[in-house]
């Protein structure tokens, strides 16, 4: 099965986790886009969706799905029932690397506001150790060199994502050549650096369920 076909299958399978009458958190990226297209069939069954990026908000609205600001949503419900999003990598502990699309901070916020994180991926995203995919870090612009220097001290090779500004007005530093043996410790260490908004390790907000598209169909992990 081609990669896009696997993404479509997991996106459709994720609909089973959407509860009628709930508010759904929606991620960013090509797999999340396929989920949005599938969610359109349930638009009259849900209260609405909270988007993890401007581009996701536009796609949701394009399908006539009600888009709610997170603060608005959390006045209506205690938490979102589910957050559905892709990932760049996942390991055996369902720790993730995210942020290939640069939306990591809002993704982590919406995931934290949700009862359950259902991660939708094709099998190419499965790894033994996180770090083969360059780890994105969202950084306040004035802290660029400070953060880059600290990343070098940790054994990484920082590269500025040229010409990219996040929805929050910040820059992204992609860190190459990291082998992540303790995802939670590295997530915490990087997030403690002044100027780091957040990094793309999702260990605290790891997936509860991974739906992985394979040549033989969708596997639930
Ligand atoms: C965006 C993300 C995406 O979930 C990640 O990059 C995977 O994208 P795709 O579904 O296109 O492979 O974290 O910030």
- Across the chain, which has 221 residues, the per-10-residue mean pLDDT values are 91 98 98 98 97 98 98 96 98 98 98 98 96 98 98 97 98 95 97 98 98 96 98
* Angstrom distance (rounded) from CA 182 to CA 94: 13
d(CA 72, ligand 1 centre) in Å: 25
d(CA 97, ligand 1 centre) in Å: 9
What pLDDT score was predicted for residue 179? Answer: 83
Q: Please tell me if the CB atom of residue 105 comes closer than 6 angstroms to any atom of ligand 1.
A: no
Q: Please tell me if the CB atom of residue 134 comes closer than 6 angstroms to any atom of ligand 1.
A: no
d(CA 214, ligand 1 centre) in Å: 18
- For atom 2 of ligand 1, which residue has the closest CA? 99
What pLDDT score was predicted for residue 1? Answer: 73
The overall average pLDDT reported for the chain is 97
Token duo for residue 177: 């050549």
pLDDT tens per residue across span 135-173: 999 999 999 999 999 999 999 999 999 999 999 999 999
Residues with a known catalytic role: 107
Q: Please tell me if the CB atom of residue 180 comes closer than 6 angstroms to any atom of ligand 1.
A: no
In sequence order, the β-bridge partners of residue 122 are 213
- Count Cβ neighbours within 10 Å for each residue of 101-130 and write b for 16 or more, e otherwise: bbbbbbbbbbbebbebbbbbbbeebbbeeb
Q: Please tell me if the CB atom of residue 108 comes closer than 6 angstroms to any atom of ligand 1.
A: no
d(CA 38, ligand 1 centre) in Å: 17
Measure Cα distances from 128 to 25, 89, 112 in Å: 28, 10, 25
Pocket test for ligand 1, best of 5, 11, 28 (most atoms within 8 A of CB): 28
Residue 209 contacts residue 17 (beta carbons within 8 Å): yes
Q: Please tell me if the CB atom of residue 220 comes closer than 6 angstroms to any atom of ligand 1.
A: no
Which residue from 210, 203, 202 is spatially nearest to 105, judged by alpha carbons? Answer: 202
């Amino acid at each position: 099965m081609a990669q896009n076909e696997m993404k479509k299958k997991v996106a459709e399978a994720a609909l089973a986790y959407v509860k009628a009458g709930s508010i759904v958190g929606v991620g960013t990226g090509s797999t999340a886009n396929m989920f949005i297209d599938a969610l359109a069939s349930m638009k009259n069954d849900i209260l609405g969706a909270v988007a993890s990026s401007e581009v996701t908000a536009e796609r949701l609205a394009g399908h006539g799905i009600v888009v709610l600001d997170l603060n608005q949503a959390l006045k209506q419900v205690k938490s979102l029932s589910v957050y559905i999003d892709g990932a760049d990598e996942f390991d055996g502990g369902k720790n993730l690397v995210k942020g290939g699309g640069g939306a990591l901070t809002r993704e982590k916020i919406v995931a934290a506001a949700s009862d359950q994180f259902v991660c939708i991926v094709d099998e190419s995203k499965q790894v033994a150790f996180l770090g083969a995919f360059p780890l994105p870090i969202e950084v306040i612009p004035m802290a660029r060199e400070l953060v880059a220097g600290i990343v070098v001290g940790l054994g990484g090779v920082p590269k500025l994502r040229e010409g990219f500004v996040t929805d929050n007005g910040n820059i992204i530093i992609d860190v190459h050549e990291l082998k992540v043996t303790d995802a939670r410790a590295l997530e915490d260490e990087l997030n403690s650096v002044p100027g780091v908004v957040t990094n793309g390790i999702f260990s605290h907000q790891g997936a509860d369920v991974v739906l992985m598209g394979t040549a033989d169909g969708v596997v639930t992990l």
